[in-house]
Each structure stands twice: as C-alpha cells, then as structure tokens.
Amino acid sequence: MNKRFFLIGDIHGQYDKVKNLTGLISSEYLEGDLIIFLGDYIDRGPQSFEVIEHLILLSKCYDIVFLMGNHEDMFLRFYTTGSNYKHYLMNGGGATIKSYMKNCGDFTLPETHKIFFNNLKLFYESEDFIAVHAGLNPEVDDIKKQSAYDLLWIREEFYYSKKKWDKTIIFGHTPVSYLNSDSNIYVDNKINIIGIDTGAMVENFPLTCLIWPEKRVIQVQK
C-alpha cells in the first residue's frame, strides 16, 4: 500500500478536538504513514499545555512531523526574551500563559515541552506536495530560500497570487472562512493550493485532517 499522509490544521489550545481527531486517525494509521501537524498548537483556546502534552505522547506512538506556526514563533520570542508581550497577548497568548500556570504552578515549560518547541520544522516537502504553516512567497522558487517570516506569516501575497505551484501547497494559518463561505477545506486548483485551517479555535468550527493523496477529509466539531 502506498504511503499516506495525515495533515492536521491549526489547533489553538483545543485539547478535546485534537484528542478526538487523532483518535479517529489512529484507527486508520498504518505502518509507513506519516502525520503532519501544520502548527498553531497554542494560544486563544484554553488548554495549550494539554495539547502539547498530547502531541508529545502521540509522537512516541506514530511517525509525526511537527511544523512551526506563527503562534509558536510569537510564544518562543516572548518566553525567551519577553520583548513582544503586548503583541503576544493581543494574539491570544494570555490563554497559553494561564494554561501553563494552571498545570505547572507558574509560567514555565517542562523540559519535554522545551524540546518540542525547539524542534519544530518550517516545512515538509514530499514528491507531490509541500506542507507549510502559512504559505510560500510566489516570487521565490527555491523553498530553501523562502524566509521563515513568509513560511509562518504570509497571507494574501500567497493565496491571491496567480502563480501555479508545481507541487500542491497544503497550508493552515488563514481560516477557510476568510477564503470561502463554508467551514470545509479551501481548494484552489488554478494555483494548486489547499487550506485546512477550519477555525477550530471557534466553538462550533471543526478541526480538520486532510488525508493525502486521496484528498479525503476527517473533521471533528468537539
């Protein structure tokens, strides 16, 4: 059987959703498959600590690639330097601080969490797709020359570009509700991109997994 990929969008502290979604994936996962998380595990939702704990435990049982999102980028800069405190709070960081204080007694990271955050990747490239948190700069052809800022933060310049990518770009970061009218995934075949951030941080919006190459979607509402 050909290798399959399970790509999961932005979680944002929604522990129940990621627990239930990964439970569904576990019933389909076969040896040789790969799970790819697209980043934004933390902030906004109430259980960032629990989400990271869950992902660390999953990594002991399955082959997983964890990508960095812009929220992990903000979190790490705040945690290590404190320089972007107001900006981080404006983007939902207060929920993460509360979650760690509740579980750790103060705002500190267990060693396993430090290792997790410090080993996040910026992208994953296969033979026919590239997984990335935010997208790619259409003016840069070599992915190794893409800036970290664009990989984590880019929006309109990427998904409104007319450039058709050779490989399908699978991304999160921008909720699909901003790109079309429903909560299903965003597909633009003209430029060969798929968005899978379905707004899980909102109570009635799902957390989504795209199974590649069959392009089947699994979602959980809660």
The reply to whether the predicted model has a pTM over 0.75 is yes
Over residues 2-44, the pLDDT tens digits come to 899 999 999 999 999 999 999 999 999 999 999 999 999 999 9
- pLDDT recorded at residue 204: 87
Total domains in the chain come to: 1
Which own/partner contact pairs does 140-149 have at CB distance under 8 Å and 24+ positions apart? 146/122, 148/73, 148/122
Cα→Cα distances 195→77, 102, 132, 178, 189, Å: 26, 33, 10, 11, 11
pLDDT at 183 over 80: no
pLDDT at 203: 87
For residue 42, the enclosing domain spans 5-220
Residue in 220, 213, 221, 222 with CA at minimum distance from that of residue 7:
213
CATH number of the domain residue 87 falls in: 3.60.21.10
For the chain, the straight-line distance linking the first and the last C-alpha, in angstroms and rounded, comes to 31
Q: Which of 80-89, 123-132, 151-160 has the lowest mean pLDDT?
A: 80-89
pLDDT band at 181 (very low <50, low <70, confident <90, very high): low
